[in-house]
A and B are shown apart, each in its own frame.
Chain A
């Protein structure tokens, strides 16, 4: 561990030795007592200065210790350590951070994680009340060198994953990131698609309400990730952009008998890079402008053929096009946001003919939008209480390709709901939530939710 001071113990010893060596030399050169006195005074001053340095040496780790202790209550207590590399050394006073868990100085690996638990009580059906450890996630970032690192995220959903359980264990992100220049770089691997406000920032401390909003769950299937390569960058005037070539959904997995396709069309056919059919690559492009502090304006597009060229499959020309636009404005205690997204799947007519009689054909279009307002009503020392309200409309099957003889199914009725609740941040990394969700035309879905989430 390098300490935060500008003179090393070796230098200190050499300075002392030189200083002491200078004594007899000075004495021999000049026998004058006054000169000797001056010399001694100068040495004394040097010693005082060295003593001062030593005090600083002792003070620096002491200053770190309470700070590290404070992380437990206030700041992210990550297992990060700063190696004493050339960059750190080029910063006078830059000390490697004392790891609070691993206690390994000069490690290039950071551990982080998040989790959320929730309780849901449908108001019309108390028997369906449920408590769930929805997500337990950890990840690490490891730096290979100054410009290259691997980013990972591993997740358990619903507490237990086995052949007899409903939980899932999955790799949510795993990509290499290489910085080409300070303002742009490249990623390769399994990464989050940068659409919407939530997908890339899906930790429970980052959104209002116990559950992620319906629009960014049913239409944009967060947590949405694909495998591929992407370029990302940012400009001086506040534009962050990202574009890539990735895998896409696999329409040949569509199950017309299951309600899943009505819950989330893309969520039911996403591949999650598990032996993903990759005949047809997809492309995405997304950008956010944040040139005015507090304001985010952005949008993105994801498109590709999703039949994946399967032999005999009737929708190999089907193309997915999903677009979204969003705005977020944070000023003082207010946090306002709005998002609209719309998707289409082309060339599904022949496929849907084979699905006649089933409840879930492939939709031609699906869309959703919400507006949300939150107000940080109280804040003290890292704790905060923010009531919020959100209005959403979404439709996972707004239209279907025409089916002859009236054998098709009707488009779904648009879901409309209000969510009102409160987020209570015990500290910036621990949040307790409560909300009530009221559906305008499906009152049997009304529910009361409680949740707790954290990240570090």
Chain B
């Protein structure tokens, strides 16, 4: 085992550089869906078309760089709405972090999972103890680093931007999903 790395290292040095992203995938979207909503018998795609006003409201005062439109599913058991799973990306220090946020039917956070991480430092945000800080929180909470969310030394930027991203998504729920879900 100790010598296993010699082979790939040697190979990597000899390889021509080709475009690829370094990424550690910890969870797939499906795994995150199942983990958050074990009772669900289906996940309905929720198309998100924000009005300019809604987008402005969400962007206001946000440091989080949302690098793609978040992807939203509604978890259902028969006709019952169990909640939402939102997959989004933020920039950690320089690279994208893909994460999944699960909200129950009342918009309360029931799970936060890191799907993919690419930075050389800061992977500590995957720590269950750190992610647990978000559970039970809603749009009524500050959801800010060094306020109600504690930092991980050495992973500050990843902590900050992921916290900003989560805050943005619970606002998305409060301003867009909640009004449309009846």
Contacts and interface: CB of A to CB of B under 8 A. Distances in A.
A and B associate in one complex: yes
A197 B48 contact: no
Task: Give the interface size bracket for B toward A.
Answer: 35 or more
Given A56-B47, A64-B67, A76 B22 contact: no
Given A55-B49, A60-B69, A290-B127, A91 B20 contact: no
B167 interface: no
A76 B152 contact: no
A394 to B, nearest CB: 22
A428 B98 CA distance: 21
Contacts of B65: 67-68, 70-71, 74-75
A146 B22 CA distance: 4
B71 A92 contact: yes
Given A144-B18, A145-B20, A176-B13, A296 B153 contact: yes
Interface string B37-75: 000000001011110000100010111111111110000
Interface in B7-29: 8-9, 12-13, 15, 17-26, 28-29
Interface stretch (B76-84, B102-110, B118-126, B174-182): B118-126
A264 B26 CA distance: 43
B63 A74 contact: yes
Contact of A56 (B18, B49, B89, B151): B49
Count chain A CB atoms within 10 A of each CB in B20, B50, B87, B121 and give the residue with the most.
B20
Given A66-B59, A296-B153, A93 B87 contact: yes
B67 to A, nearest CB: 4
What is the predominant secondary structure among interface residues of chain B facing chain A?
Answer: loop
A182 interface: yes
Interface in A47-87: 52-53, 55-56, 59-60, 63-64, 66-68, 70-71, 74-76, 78, 80, 82-83, 85, 87
Contact of A332 (B96, B146, B154): B146
Contact of A293 (B23, B29, B129): B129
Contacts of A93: 68-71, 87-88
A416 interface: no
Contact of B22 (A56, A92, A148): A148
A293 B120 contact: no
A147 B22 contact: yes
Nearest to A177: B120
A145 B64 CA distance: 27
A179 B119 CA distance: 12
A208 to B, nearest CB: 13
A142 to B, nearest CB: 6
Contact of A108 (B21, B68, B129): B21
Interface in B149-174: 149-154, 156-157, 160-161
A64 B69 CA distance: 8
A85 B21 contact: yes
Nearest to B151: A330
Interface of B: 4-5, 8-9, 12-13, 15, 17-26, 28-29, 45, 47-50, 55, 59, 61-71, 87-89, 91, 93-96, 98, 115-116, 120-121, 123-124, 127-130, 132-133, 146-147, 149-154, 156-157, 160-161
The list of the 8 closest CB pairs from A to B, nearest first, reads A93-B71, A294-B150, A78-B94, A143-B22, A293-B150, A74-B63, A95-B68, A75-B65
